[in-house]
Amino acid sequence: MVDVSGKVRSPGLQRLPAGSRVEDALRAAGGVRSGADTEGLNRARLLVDGEQVVVGAPAPAAAPVTGGGSLAGGAGGPGSGTAPSAPVSLNTATVDQLDTLPGVGPVLAQHIIEYRTEHGGFRSVDELREVNGIGDRRFADLQNLVRP
C-alpha cells in the first residue's frame, strides 16, 4: 500500500503487489498529469509498504550548512558531520542520503537498506535499533533525524 499524491490523475492510496515499482504506482494513480515535472522521480525504484510518492513537488530549497556553504536539500555531504535539515526517510533513502546522517557511513547505510529490504521496510523509527551497527548511543543521535 502506497500513497500517491501530487500531480497525478487520481491521487490517493494504491494497493499494489509486492515488488512493484514507482512506475506501477503512477500507473495505478491514473498516470502523471500533463506538464508535471518528474525529473527527480526514479520510476524504476522498488516501493516499500507505507511510503508516499509525490509527483511534481518542488525540490527542497538549499539550506545553509555550518562550516562551509550549502548543498541542495540542506544535507551535509558525506563525511561532513552535518545533519540534514529535514528527517530522512528510512524507507526511501539512498546510501548517499543515509550517509549524510551523523555517525552513518556507507557501510552502515548499506546495513540500513539491507534491513529494510529483508523486513519490508521500517514501520517505526524504533526498528532502527535492530540494524547491525546501531546501538543505543547511535540511535539516540539519529532518532530525531529520521522517519520511517
pLDDT confidence bin for 84, thresholds 50/70/90 = low
In degrees and rounded to multiples of 5, residue 107 shows phi and psi of -70, -50
In degrees and rounded to multiples of 5, residue 136 shows phi and psi of -60, -45
Mean pLDDT confidence for 4-21: 92
For residue 47, the model assigns a pLDDT of 84
Mean pLDDT confidence for 55-65: 53
Higher per-residue confidence, 104 vs 61: 104
